[in-house]
Chain A
Amino acid sequence: MRRFSWFNATSLTLGFAFLYLPMIILVIYSFNRSQLVTVWAGFSTRWYGELLTNQEFLDAAWVTLKVAVFSSTLATVLGTMAAYAIVRMGRFPGRTLFSGMIYAPLVMPEVITGLSLLLLFIGIGLDRGVLTIVLAHTTFSMCYVSVVVSSRLANFDRALEEAALDLGCSPFDAFRLVTLPIIAPAVISGWLLAFTLSLDDLVIASFTTGPSATTLPIKIFSSIRLGVSPEINALSTVLIGIVTVGVITASLISKRAAVQAERETRAGERTTG
């Protein structure tokens, strides 16, 4: 590579070191035997064992998982509908307000979203707990889903839907048989995004939760305010591990699918050429 200089190699090395070293250090110290995080006292998996027996963390993890699954699924349905409405419905009354409401949560500070939803739930007398967190998470993550899906929809050849109508599909069948299979990758990544956002959210969950439901980020936050602890390091390592494995698997799968498609295309070209 002509332009790949030492300067570039250095900036990549330093850049990725900056991005990954803190996490690597965190992982290393999660295997520290000592109670004091900063003093290395030998290798141990002691903190992982303690983590597994810590009922509070396990409960919080379970709540978080439930919230994430429900809210991301609901957000995917709503977000896909919203994307379809924005991209395909043309003009309808209140369209400007609608698209504004879809984009606003993306730039809205979490503290404001959380505060406003809490005030609503109090105003209508809804008991705060898992349900309110699900409602809150669905609201902001549906906007992310709709952005992801609408960018795919906008690139989608409209003629495909028209062809389906032309061949006798009802509009709903055209969506089910043609649009949905084609935008499926975007819908799936929208779901994954919503799921991650929900797993990760601290601020909005803190505002909208009640005493009955503590999510993992809330639990982690309240523990680490007191300082660094080896148990949190262990928990973080587990979470980092899950995400890393998940992302790498997903990218390997999509890479293989791409390679497969390319092979098929080549095979097609060979016999048709």
Chain B
Amino acid sequence: MRRLIIVAVPYLWLLALFLIPFLIVLKISLSDIALARPPYMPQLDLSGGWQAIRDFVSQLDFENFVFLTTDDLYWKAYLSSLRIAAVATFITLLVGYPIAYAMARATPEWRPTLLMLVILPFWTSFLIRVYSWMGILGNEGVLNQVLLWAGLITEPLQILNTTTAVYIGIVYTYLPFMILPIYSTLERMDESLLEAAEDLGCSRLSAFWLVTFPLSRNGIVAGCFLVFIPAIGEFVIPSLLGGSQTLMIGKVLWEEFFNNRDWPVASAVAVVLLLILIIPIVLFQRTEEKAREAER
């Protein structure tokens, strides 16, 4: 009996507050916008019996999905989200790998402190960390002031409200997600492997490329997925740092819902976004499983 409760309570909770809401999104994405409350139709009226259900089902269609393909805005937003996420992930890797590498090579007494320094920002408000860049990247921000003072530029650079600012924001906020998995694979690596490679005639650099880098592959892959997947649906960073120039699907969905109040299209945007995300998620799951099996 108690066993049943332990499974049933969280199970029912997730069914009610995760699965059913998603099914509702799916249903509304097949409905039409209407000037009503709630602002979509058809409405399901169960008191009407089978006939009502049949009518209800017959009124559902894929119109909103067709609309998504005909209007530039949406597919451009999807593509640009994917591109921004991919580029930002790559930059994060370039920035994060040397840090993770240096951490793994630090003396064991230092490692816990360094690790905590990487984790600390994660506990700090995401919103505040994004916000902190607004004061730096603005036209009168700290960065421009420093560059002007140093005489490197004569005109303030327009960085805030461009895609560059979005890249900076993503790299900055997701950096710990890249560093941690790479660090954990590098830390476990046996240092005698490098000594063996040098003993066999490798230079330090080629030892790195031939031994260290391939062995940290699992960490790199995990880190890239951990940055790439959430970056696609990101809303806060493009809306605070990207301005109107940057097109990202999370922002489009938000605006479709709150500004246009077009719930059916917003739902359709969500469904397509999820379908796009399934691919990297499944790939991620699979590589994680492989890595876990290899460890056994």
Contact = CB atoms under 8 A, between A and B. Distances in A.
A101 B19 contact: yes
A117 B125 CA distance: 23
B106 A8 contact: yes
Interface string A95-109: 001100110110111
Nearest to B252: A111
Contact of B6 (A29, A38, A81, A239): A81
Interface string A109-153: 111100111011011000000000001101100100010000000
Interface residues of B, number: 83
A172 B191 CA distance: 47
B157 interface: no
B177 interface: no
A1 interface: yes
Given A8-B106, A22-B172, A116-B24, A111 B233 contact: yes
A214 interface: no
Interface majority SS on A: helix, strand, loop or mixed?
Answer: helix
A37 interface: yes
Given A109-B277, A220-B127, A243-B123, A228 B24 contact: no
Nearest to B26: A116
A19 B96 CA distance: 11
B86 interface: no
B95 to A, nearest CB: 7
A142 B10 CA distance: 9
Interface in A1-37: 1, 3-4, 7-9, 11-12, 15-16, 18-20, 22-23, 25-26, 29, 37
B17 A135 contact: yes
B257 A115 contact: yes
A22 B129 contact: yes
Most buried by B among A119, A228, A233: A119
B35 interface: no
A7 B208 CA distance: 13
A226 to B, nearest CB: 11
B128 A239 contact: yes
Interface in A60-94: 78-79, 81-82, 84-85, 89, 92, 94
B141 interface: yes
Interface stretch (B55-63, B68-76, B216-224, B267-275): B267-275
Chain A interface extent, by class: 35 or more
B290 to A, nearest CB: 17
B125 A1 contact: no
A156 B13 CA distance: 26
A239 B273 contact: no
Contacts of A136: 17
B216 to A, nearest CB: 15
Contact of B13 (A29, A78, A94, A123): A78
Interface stretch (A45-53, A158-166, A197-205, A259-267): A197-205
A57 interface: no
Contact of A122 (B38, B117, B136): B38
Interface string A222-253: 00110110001100100110011011000100
B15 interface: yes
B120 interface: yes
Contacts of A172: 2
B209 interface: no
22 contacts: A1-B105, A15-B175, A16-B99, A18-B172, A22-B133, A22-B136, A25-B136, A92-B7, A98-B14, A105-B18, A107-B284, A111-B250, A111-B253, A115-B266, A117-B21, A119-B263, A207-B257, A224-B131, A240-B124, A240-B128, A243-B124, A251-B116
Given A101-B18, A117-B17, A239-B125, 12 more contacts: A1-B107, A18-B95, A26-B128, A38-B140, A94-B11, A111-B233, A112-B25, A116-B22, A123-B38, A203-B236, A240-B125, A251-B112
A-B interface, 9 closest residue pairs, ranked by CB to CB distance from nearest: A109-B233, A116-B21, A11-B98, A15-B99, A8-B102, A82-B10, A22-B132, A120-B21, A101-B14
